[in-house]
C-alpha cells in the first residue's frame, strides 16, 4: 500500500508540520522520518516540535480550556460523537495507515480504529454520567455533596504499538470531562498521529472548539517538558518502565498527577483440566498478535506438568503455522517488528535465552527478507528462578514455556516478577479459577479466565500494578483521574452548628 494513497484517502495532501492547536504550526525541529517496517523504506518526514512549540500550543490550549470547561458536558460529548463518526467513515484508511506505519495486520489495524470508535461512544454516554455523590450531613439544615470539575490540559504520551487507541482512551474521556489535550505520539508513528489530528480538526473546527485536541510530534525532550510543566496537571504516559519512572518522579516532584501504563510481563497458566483448544488459541494470539508488541502480549506460560507435553506439541504446530509477512496481505498473521533496533533486541534476547539454558522449539531467527521480520518463537525454559531473561519484557513474539507442579507454584512464579499488567488462567475448575481471581491470587491489573492476556475491551479500566505503574485508563470510573473532585457543604439554616459537636461560644 502506497503511503500517498492512504493519506489521500484521509484528505491529507502533504505532511510537513508536527504540531497543531487546531491549526498546523510551522515547526522547525529536526526531521522525524516515518518508515514502513515491512520494507524499511521511508513513508514521509516532518519537522519535529520543540519546547517553544509546546509553550505556544499550551498557551492556546489554556485559552480554549477557559471556555471549554464551561460548556455543558453533554455538549462536549456531542463533539466527541462527531469524532467517532469521522473515525467510522475513515476506519479502513486509518487502519491501513496503522498497518503501513507500524506493521500491524489489516484486521488489527481496523480493530484499533474500532477501539477508538468504542471509546468515543463510551465517552459520549459518560457526558451525562459524570456523577458525584450526595452525603448526609451531620449538621442540621446542611447539604453535603461532591462534584467533579474539569482539571486542565492533559499531556498524553503514547507508544508506537498502539498509534491511535491509547490516545483515544485518554483524549475522548478527557474532552468530555472538560479538559484539553496535548498529545506527544511516538516518533515511530508520526503520520498516524497527523491523520488523527486532521480528523480532530474536522470534528472540532465548525463548533469553534479548536485547541481541545492538540498535537506535538517531538522527541523525548518534548515529553520531558510535559512532565516538568506545572500548567499540565495530568500526564498520561505509556511506554517503558525506565522512562515511566522518570516521568512519574518528575511529575510527582511538582505534585502533579500521572497515569502510568508501563511494561508488562504477562503470564498464562494452563492447568491439567484446561480446555486446550482455547489455551492454544489464546496463547498464540497473545504471543504473536501485533508481532508480540503489545504491553499485554503473552510472555510466559506456566503449564501443569500433566498437560505440558500435549500443550507444547500443539503450540509448536500453531507457532509454525503462523504466516509472517506483509501485514496487508491476506492470510498473514504477523507483520514485521517496528524497527531494525527491535530485531536486534529480539536477537540479543535469544542469545541470552540459549546461554541461560532455554531451548528454542520453534522460530528463533530473523527472516531473510527486506523489512524487520522475525519468526514467532517458543522457548522451553528451565525453572523461572534460574532463567533471568524471563524477568524482563522483550517487545517481540517470544514466549517462555515453564512446567509447574501446581497452581500454587504457577501463581508464585507469575507474581514474582516486578511487572503486574495482565494474566490469565485456563481451567475448567471453578475453585481453581476463583483461587486465581482471589485476593491471594493474580496480582495483576487484568486477570482473565479461559481467555488470553491481550485484547482488553474499552469498557473496563485498563492498567496494571507494581512496575506497570498503577495507572488506569479507558472505561469503568477511570474518568475520575481526568477531573478534580470538590466536596461542598451548603448551610441553608439560620445557625452555624460546627462539625464533630465543637462548641465555640462567641458573644
Ligand atoms: C498496549 O499495548 O499498550 O488489551 C495496549 C489490548 C489492547 C490494548 C493494548 N486493547 O491488548
| pLDDT, position 16 | 76
Query: Ligand 1: which atom is nearest the Cα of residue 293?
Result: 2
pLDDT tens sequence across 445-491: 999 999 999 999 999 999 999 999 999 999 999 999 999 999 999 99
Residue 154 falls within a domain, yes or no? yes
- Centroid of ligand 1 to alpha carbon of 143 (angstroms): 43
- 186 and 304 together in one domain: no
Q: Ligand 1 — pocket residues by CB below 6 A? A: 115, 161-162, 166, 238, 294-296, 454-456
| pLDDT, position 62 | 98
Q: What is the CATH number of the domain that holds 320?
A: 3.40.309.10
Let me know: does 91 contact 108? Beta carbons within 8 Å: no
Residue 506 falls within a domain, yes or no? no
How many domains does the chain divide into?
2
Residue 346 falls within a domain, yes or no? yes
| pLDDT, position 10 | 72
For the chain, the average pLDDT equals 97
- 420 and 477 together in one domain: no
pLDDT class for 1, splitting at 50, 70, 90? very low
- 305 and 354 together in one domain: yes
- 232 and 305 together in one domain: no
- 318 and 169 together in one domain: no
| pLDDT, position 342 | 98
- 51 and 173 together in one domain: yes
- Centroid of ligand 1 to alpha carbon of 454 (angstroms): 6
Let me know: does 156 contact 164? Beta carbons within 8 Å: no
Query: Ligand 1: which atom is nearest the Cα of residue 297?
Result: 11
- 157 and 243 together in one domain: yes
Residue 498 falls within a domain, yes or no? no
Q: Please give the residue range of the domain that contains residue 16.
A: 3-262+469-486
- 359 and 475 together in one domain: no
Residue 59 falls within a domain, yes or no? yes
Residue 499 falls within a domain, yes or no? no
- 154 and 243 together in one domain: yes
- Residues near 462 by beta carbon (within 8 Å), at least 6 away in sequence: 169, 261, 445, 446, 456, 472, 473, 474, 475, 478
Give catalytic status of residue 408 as yes or no. Answer: no
Out of 112, 261, 393, 403, the active site residue is 261
Region 279-303 average pLDDT: 98
Q: Cell numbers of 264, please?
A: 508488562
- For residue 216, pLDDT over 80 is answered with yes
- 99 and 136 together in one domain: yes
Residue 253 falls within a domain, yes or no? yes
pLDDT class for 5, splitting at 50, 70, 90? low
Task: Give CA torsion, residues 40, 46, 51, 52, to 10 deg.
Answer: 170
pLDDT tens sequence across 149-195: 999 999 999 999 999 999 999 999 999 999 999 999 999 999 999 99
Q: Say whether 365 sits in a helix, a strand or coil.
A: coil
The answer for 104, left when phi > 0, alpha when psi is -120 to 50, beta otherwise, is beta
- 282 and 360 together in one domain: yes
| pLDDT, position 14 | 67
Q: What is the pTM of this model?
A: 0.97
pLDDT tens sequence across 359-413: 999 999 999 999 999 999 999 999 999 999 999 999 999 999 999 999 999 999 9
- 482 and 421 together in one domain: no
Give catalytic status of residue 120 as yes or no. Answer: no
Amino acid at each position: 500500500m502506497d503511503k500517498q494513497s492512504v493519506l489521500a484517502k484521509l484528505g491529507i495532501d502533504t505532511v510537513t508540520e508536527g504540531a497543531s492547536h487546531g491549526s498546523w504550526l510551522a515547526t522547525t525541529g529536526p526531521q522525524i522520518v516515518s518508515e514502513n517496517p515491512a520494507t524499511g523504506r521511508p513513508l514521509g518526514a516532518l519537522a519535529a516540535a520543540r519546547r517553544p512549540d509546546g509553550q505556544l500550543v499550551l498557551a492556546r490550549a489554556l485559552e480554549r480550556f477557559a471556555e471549554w470547561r464551561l460548556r455543558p458536558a453533554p455538549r462536549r460529548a456531542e463533539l466527541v460523537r462527531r469524532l467517532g463518526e469521522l473515525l467510522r467513515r475513515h476506519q479502513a484508511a486509518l487502519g491501513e495507515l496503522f498497518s503501513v506505519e507500524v506493521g500491524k495486520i489489516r484486521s488489527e489495524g481496523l480493530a484499533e480504529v474500532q477501539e477508538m470508535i468504542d471509546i468515543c461512544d463510551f465517552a459520549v454516554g459518560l457526558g451525562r454520567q459524570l456523577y458525584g455523590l450526595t452525603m448526609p450531613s451531620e449538621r442540621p439544615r446542611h447539604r453535603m455533596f461532591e462534584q467533579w470539575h474539569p482539571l486542565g490540559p492533559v499531556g498524553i504520551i503514547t507508544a508506537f504499538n498502539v498509534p491511535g487507541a491509547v490516545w483515544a482512551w485518554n483524549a475522548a474521556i478527557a474532552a468530555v470531562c472538560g479538559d484539553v489535550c496535548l498529545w506527544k505520539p511516538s516518533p515511530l508513528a508520526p503520520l498516524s498521529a497527523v491523520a488523527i489530528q486532521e480528523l480532530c480538526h474536522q470534528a472540532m473546527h465548525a463548533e469553534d472548539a479548536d485547541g481541545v485536541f492538540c498535537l506535538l510530534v517531538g522527541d523525548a525532550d518534548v515529553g520531558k517538558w510535559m512532565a516538568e510543566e506545572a500548567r499540565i496537571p495530568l500526564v498520561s504516559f505509556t511506554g517503558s518502565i525506565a522512562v515511566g519512572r522518570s516521568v512519574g518522579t518528575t511529575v510527582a516532584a511538582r505534585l502533579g498527577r500521572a497515569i502510568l501504563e508501563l511494561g508488562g510481563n504477562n503470564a498464562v497458566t494452563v492447568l491439567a483440566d484446561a480446555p486446550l483448544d482455547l489455551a492454544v488459541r489464546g496463547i498464540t494470539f497473545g504471543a504473536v498478535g501485533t508481532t508480540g508488541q503489545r504491553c499485554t502480549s503473552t510472555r510466559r506460560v506456566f503449564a501443569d506438568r500433566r498437560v505440558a507435553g500435549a500443550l507444547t506439541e500443539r503450540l509448536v504446530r500453531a507457532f509454525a503455522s503462523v504466516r509472517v509477512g506483509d501485514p496487508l496481505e491476506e492470510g498473514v498473521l504477523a507483520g514485521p517488528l517496528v524497527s531494525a533496533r527491535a530485531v536486534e533486541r529480539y536477537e540479543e534476547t535469544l542469545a541470552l535465552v540459549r546461554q541461560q539454558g532455554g531451548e528454542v522449539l520453534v522460530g528463533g531467527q530473523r527472516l531473510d527478507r527486506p523489512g524487520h521480520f522475525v519468526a514467532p518463537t517458543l522457548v522451553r525454559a528451565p525453572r523461572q528462578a534460574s532463567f533471568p531473561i524471563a524477568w524482563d519484557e522483550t517487545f517481540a513474539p517470544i514466549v517462555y514455556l515453564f512446567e509447574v507442579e501446581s497452581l500454587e507454584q504457577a501463581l508464585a512464579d507469575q507474581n514474582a516478577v516486578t511487572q503486574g499488567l495482565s494474566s490469565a488462567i485456563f481451567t475448567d475448575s471453578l475453585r481453581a479459577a476463583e483461587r486465581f481471581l482471589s485476593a491471594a491470587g493474580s496480582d495483576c491489573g487484568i486477570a482473565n479466565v479461559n481467555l488470553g492476556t491481550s485484547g482488553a475491551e474499552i469498557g473496563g479500566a485498563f492498567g496494571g500494578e507494581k512496575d506497570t505503574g498503577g495507572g488506569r485508563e479507558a472505561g469503568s470510573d477511570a474518568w475520575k483521574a481526568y477531573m478534580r473532585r470538590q466536596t461542598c457543604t451548603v448551610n441553608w439554616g439560620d445557625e452555624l452548628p460546627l462539625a464533630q459537636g465543637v462548641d465555640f461560644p462567641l458573644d
